[in-house]
Amino acid sequence: LSSPLNTAFFTRDPLSVIGGGISLNHMYWHDRNREVDLLQTVAEHHPCFADTPQWFGHDSSFHLEGGDIVNLSGHAVAIGLSSRTESLAIDRLSQGLLWGDGSSVTDVYVIEVPQSGNRLHLDAYLSPIDGDTFVVDPLLAREPRVYRLRRARRRGGVRIEPCSEGLARILEAATGGGPVRLIDFGDGGGPMAFEYGNGAAGILPLAPGNLCVCAENLAANEALVDAGMTVHPVSIQEMTVGFGGPNSLCLPLVREDL
């Protein structure tokens, strides 16, 4: 007999797909590591995944959760430094991504995550929704603290550089150098303060500009439509109780670059 896995519907937390490999994360709450055990069994024994590189193993003693991992492009990934993801875990994952055989990642951007209400992870503040468009919470955009990690000269080493540019310039570099558009729904005050806390930035892109969003966030969804996006509202409040958006409930395995 086994006790229930009460949070297993947050499928993007225990395992993350980054480039052509996976990260088997070490969850903050010990009970959630049983979810990782189940996914590890699939990853190591199912023929579709048997040869998939693993950038991080959840036998690590450092916490890392998938909600803090946001793929920016085929060569760049953002990782949130948060209450659920520790710096030493980020260092270990970055070593795997930057030096692992078969990895296409050349740049890791570590972003300090604001702690506001029930929002715990980077993907509650930043979502890529099109090739050059991101939804970003004003709390993150206003004074971002970002570090760029790249290969050091010594094999296996990681070089850390603070990023002094604004968030738009950082995302431009991460996605190839072209201009990017940041959608922030306003200043985060008034009704939008509630909608940000209700998962407005936790968007699941089904295709570039084609988005699954939380139906309850009316103002945010209207702003997305005004920005030229196609939205598919889904009511998920009974499931997540304000702790995440549609992106929290899905684990895409294979995706084209946005």
Res 104 pLDDT > 90: yes
* Residue recorded with tokens 């806390």: 197
Q: What is the mean pLDDT of the chain?
A: 90
Assessment of whether the complete model's pTM goes beyond 0.85: yes
Order of strands, edge to edge, in the sheet holding 133-136? 126-130, 133-136, 181-183
Q: How much of the chain, in percent, has pLDDT values that exceed 70?
A: 95
Q: What's the mean pLDDT in 38-67?
A: 92
Q: Which of 2-11, 149-158, 226-235 has the lowest mean pLDDT?
A: 2-11
Highest average pLDDT, of 8-17, 114-123, 188-197, comes from: 8-17
Q: What's the mean pLDDT in 180-189?
A: 80
227-249 pLDDT, tens per residue?
Answer: 999 999 998 877 766 577 899 99
Strands 69-71 and 54-56: unpaired
Domain boundaries, the chain: 15-245
Q: What's the mean pLDDT in 181-186?
A: 86
Res 187 pLDDT > 80: no
Position 174 confidence tier, pLDDT thresholds 50, 70, 90: very high
105-148 pLDDT, tens per residue?
Answer: 999 999 999 987 788 899 999 999 998 999 999 999 988 999 99
At 188 the pLDDT is 60
| Architecture of the 15-245 domain | 5-stranded Propeller (3.75)
At 1 the pLDDT is 47
